[in-house]
Structure 1
Amino acid sequence: MFSRIEGILREKGESSVLVEAGGLCYDVLLPRCVGDKLRTVNVGDPVKLEIFSYLQIDGNRGSAMYVGFTNAIEREFFEALLTVASIGPKTAARAFSQPMAQIARYIDDGDQASLRRLPGIGGQKAKDIIAKLQGKVARFGLIQGEPQPQRAETTPDFVAEAIDVLLQLQYRRAEAERMAREALANNGKVSTAEELLTEIYRRQQPTAMKPAPSSGTRG
């Protein structure tokens, strides 16, 4: 196990990178917010990542797993998430999809609705995170270079519920949120998840072809 890797970027995936160091290649899992910061790093470029290492047990087999971060403070925040009993490394990596300062603000404010929207975090895990970490993570919002989060309007519960259904139907989160937003803009009377899903479904249907107007019969 090691805590930092410095080498050459050999491959870039959607949620991981392959880094060559010392003649070996290491597959490093990247939380989405970390991957976003590495967009300008190209294959063949040098790269340095702080690493959280853990052993994943699958039956009788153990595999070393590595999660990468751009700095040690991000890794420390990730480790703080792991102190929550219901949060494991994979769940924490998925949830780390927004800037650290923003997630820390959600926790410090007790903003359960915003935490629920993080990938892999449902209602119970959001409660667990707040119960364990509220009042303990404010300093993580002070890291240099992290954009200060803006207070967004709280998404109504019925909208979050409808988005959760769309995610279960294999829609991507960004697409599900866009569909919900457009449906609400089109029909402001929607007030339940069922009504919202019905409106979304209606908007996805192709517009029925109207019959061409009759030219009439010439006498």
Structure 2
Amino acid sequence: MAPTGVGSNEFYRSEEEYLSAVADALRVEYQTIIDAGFSVQIDDPFLPDLFADRQLDNAAIHRKANAYIEILNHALRGLPQDKIRYHTCYSINEGPRIHDVPFIEFVRFMLRINASDYSFEAGNVRHEHEYHLWEQVKLPEGKRLIPGVICHTSNTVEHPELIAERLVRFAERVGRDNVIAGVDCGFSSQATYRTEVHPTVIREKFRALRAGVSGDHHRRFAIHQFK
């Protein structure tokens, strides 16, 4: 969780003072996770949500986005960047998604966050075309992308060939060593949710993901053809 998504200020003199205290507290948790041998994933729907706030003009959105990034980087200060993943989390529920924020609107803000890996929605058909933005935006040295290549809000199981194609699109633009296969979001996107996809379908989606990444689908196809 990013600091901007934790509770609300009831005791501090300003929002800035409150968020700074939250960031300090979360840093202890992040450090504990890393010390235990794990990577930290920051799930953050709050940054992209800013860009959909119709009460703010572009200047106000950018000011708040800069403040969000500053406070998150404050929470991450001194932590090994190669142990930090950032997840945009802006397409979490089943729906038409016609008002989702275009990724191009906030990707440059996202890349300023002190993480090594960036996870984002790309399997959702409302966002699948957005791989083209990496023809305009340069991925910084030492960073990797984790595009979602299976969708967590659809009961259709993606074909491994499609999953492989989705990965290749990103690899062609940022380099194959800079791409990791991911999921759009968690299948139970909040702890209080029931999954919108049946667990048996979830398992099939992950089997397809494994096959698409490993190339197993090519071998199975060849065996079938020559039986």
Q: TM-score range by the shorter chain?
A: under 0.3
Name the one with the larger strand percent.
1
Q: Which has the higher contact order (CA 8 A, sep 6+)?
A: 2
Q: Rg bigger for which structure?
A: 1
Name the one with the larger helix percent.
2
- Scaled by the length of structure 2, the TM-score of the pair is 0.23
